Amino acid sequence: MDVICDSPRHNIRAARRGKSEWLVAALRCYELGLELRDAPSPEPTPRLSDDPTRAVLAEVLATAVCHSTNWDRLRDVIRRAAADPERFNAARLATLDVGAFREEFGAGFAPAESLLARHRVFTETASLMGTRRVLDVASLVERPVRLGGRAGLYDRLRAIPAFARDPEAKKARILVQELCRTRLIAPTDPEHVRPAIEYHLIRLYLRTQRVTPVRMADDSRLLAATTFRAPVIMRIRRAVEEAMYFTASAAEMPICDLNHIEWQIARSFCERHGPRCDGPPQPSKPCDSTVLALAVDLRCPFADVCGVASNSRLAGMVEPQLSRKYDFY
């Protein structure tokens, strides 16, 4: 399988074959974007520490190991650890052995996990932030920071393997957005904030038909958890990214806000094992006041335009699975 889905622009191939998927996808982006147009701006995300320098370190370390785990649980554990300035510093954290890492941070991950790989990423990142000072936190905190271009923040994060391994730089994108939402950085070029596309968002964009499989066979494969090759998943992420730009344009909303709002809708309403179109949102995955303001009668904010009501097959769509060897993406 070489192509499984295309966004409005990428789908030009399908359009040349006389299909109209790209028009449908573009229209869906527009319709769903309109639903969000009057959304209140999200409140700033609470920082992981009252001390700005420690808060940046906490964001960097949390994001470095955030793959395939519960985001809120991990952040709670890191927030508690970051309350202790004697223990939560990069030089000390870089020297934690596996046992100490499990003791201090293990509650942030699934109980059965070995934590060996997470420990390696965590201590390597702490080492680069501390002793080797690859990223100078003091130069970031509450100061104007350029995101794009050579020596911009995205470029500088490439020096840290946790943020450089993924060809789509998902973790770097998550980190930059979190630093913006917590107001820990003040970007001079906020238009360069890039979408962070993870599995919840892929599922949401598939179900809302903003990204659609070109071939029927691929459509069927998305009705069950199916592992796809990494390059295919990267193409899907790029398609979702492009559709998010279209949606943000219709919503008249910055990418950083839209990304956060749609991620919450995806994980709390549009759950993998059955969407909660009529609500309420999943209690264990709380939504912020912006999403709740959009959720009339606690229904999904997209419930009136989604299309699932007239096409129940969409409700069964799930995000394509990535091989475990790439799950750090």
The footprint of ligand SF4 (CB under 6 A) covers 204, 207-208, 269-270, 275-277, 300, 302-303, 306, 308, 315
| Comparison of 24 and 77: residue with beta carbon closer to ligand SF4 | 24
Nearest residue to 314 (alpha-carbon basis) of 260, 274, 280, 286: 274
Nearest residue to 105 (alpha-carbon basis) of 126, 141, 80, 127: 80
| Comparison of 66 and 306: residue with beta carbon closer to ligand SF4 | 306
Least distance to ligand SF4 from the beta carbon of 35, Å?
10
Q: CB under 8 Å, gap of 24 or more: what pairs does 265-274 form?
A: 265/204, 265/291, 265/300, 265/301, 265/302, 266/200, 266/201, 266/203, 266/204, 267/200, 269/295, 269/300, 269/301, 269/302, 270/200, 270/203, 270/204, 270/207, 270/300, 272/203, 272/318, 272/319, 274/315
Least distance to ligand SF4 from the beta carbon of 46, Å?
26
Contact present, 4 and 228 (Cβ < 8 Å): yes
Residue 268 structure tokens? 């709390």
Least distance to ligand SF4 from the beta carbon of 178, Å?
24
Least distance to ligand SF4 from the beta carbon of 209, Å?
10
Least distance to ligand SF4 from the beta carbon of 218, Å?
19
Least distance to ligand SF4 from the beta carbon of 3, Å?
24
| Comparison of 182 and 208: residue with beta carbon closer to ligand SF4 | 208
How many C-beta atoms lie closer than 10 Å to residue 45's C-beta?
A: 18
| Comparison of 176 and 308: residue with beta carbon closer to ligand SF4 | 308
Contact present, 204 and 262 (Cβ < 8 Å): yes
223-245 burial, b for 16+ CB within 10 Å, e for fewer?
A: eeeeebeeebbbbbbbbbbbbbb
| Comparison of 32 and 255: residue with beta carbon closer to ligand SF4 | 32
| Comparison of 91 and 293: residue with beta carbon closer to ligand SF4 | 293
Least distance to ligand SF4 from the beta carbon of 96, Å?
40
Residue 19 burial (10 A CB sphere; 0-12, 13-18, 19+): middle
Least distance to ligand SF4 from the beta carbon of 147, Å?
30
Amino acid making up residue 314 = L
| Comparison of 180 and 308: residue with beta carbon closer to ligand SF4 | 308
Supply φ then ψ for residue 143, to 5 degrees: -120, 160
| Comparison of 41 and 310: residue with beta carbon closer to ligand SF4 | 310
